[in-house]
Amino acid sequence: MPMRFDRDKYIDLIMYIISQCHQKPNFGKTVLCSILYFIDFNYYEVYGELLTNETYIKSKRGIRPLHFREISEELISRNYLFFRKEPYYNRTIYRYYLIIIPNLRFSEKELEIINYSISRLSDENATTITKYAKNDPPISIADFGDEIDFRYVFSRDNEYSLTNK
């Protein structure tokens, strides 16, 4: 039986990532969604289980988490997050800010993967992180518009793998 999407853990994860990265000038929606993807897929590679059971879709603009829009809009309407568009060089960046301090319920092993993924990727801009992500086997194997299959993390080479190092 497939595992259900863990909405509460996903909300906690979004809030935690924003709490760790909101001060970075490059940190917008694309970087946030990419970090969500890498946390979930890295966790699956290391522990063989899903952290949030979010569904990620390969799109022409990068990674699209299936529930992100719905949940981010809910968090904004509940006054947990504030969203605004800001100039970023010659582009517009979609930024999220915390209004409340998140209540975090992560285990030590979850935080290890979460913090590793954040520290590894949070300084990248949207273009760089999208270019990096598209070569990760789960994404490169998927077709545009298709769900990205977690099982392909076991096809990762040393550049992406946490277990092959």
Domain-located, residue 155: no
Query: 28 vs 33, 35, 71, 160, CA distance in Å?
Result: 9, 11, 16, 22
Q: Which of the 8 DSSP states describes residue 163?
A: S
Domain-located, residue 36: yes
Going by their DSSP bridges, the two strands 81-88 and 62-65 should be labelled as unpaired
Domain-located, residue 165: no
Domain-located, residue 42: yes
The CATH code of the domain that includes 29 is 1.10.10
Domain-located, residue 140: yes
Question: For residues 103 and 84, what is the distance between their CA atoms, to the nearest angstrom?
Answer: 23
Buried b / exposed e across 72-99, counting CB within 10 Å, b at 16+?
beebeeeebbeeeeeebeeeebbbbebe
The pTM score is: 0.95
Question: What confidence tens digit (pLDDT) does each residue in 49-67 have?
Answer: 999 999 999 998 889 999 9
Query: 45 vs 40, 61, 99, 101, 129, CA distance in Å?
Result: 9, 24, 33, 30, 19
Residue ranges of the chain with pLDDT lower than 70? 1-2, 165
Domain-located, residue 132: yes
- What pLDDT is attached to residue 8? 94
- What pLDDT is attached to residue 1? 44
Token digits of residue 12: 């906690």
Long-range contacts, 86-93 (Cβ 8 Å, 24+):
88/25, 88/26, 88/28, 88/125, 91/126, 93/26, 93/28, 93/29, 93/126
Domain extent for 15: 7-147
What is the CA 20 to chain-centroid distance, rounded? 13
Report the number of distinct structural domains present in the chain.
1
Domain-located, residue 157: no
Domain-located, residue 109: yes
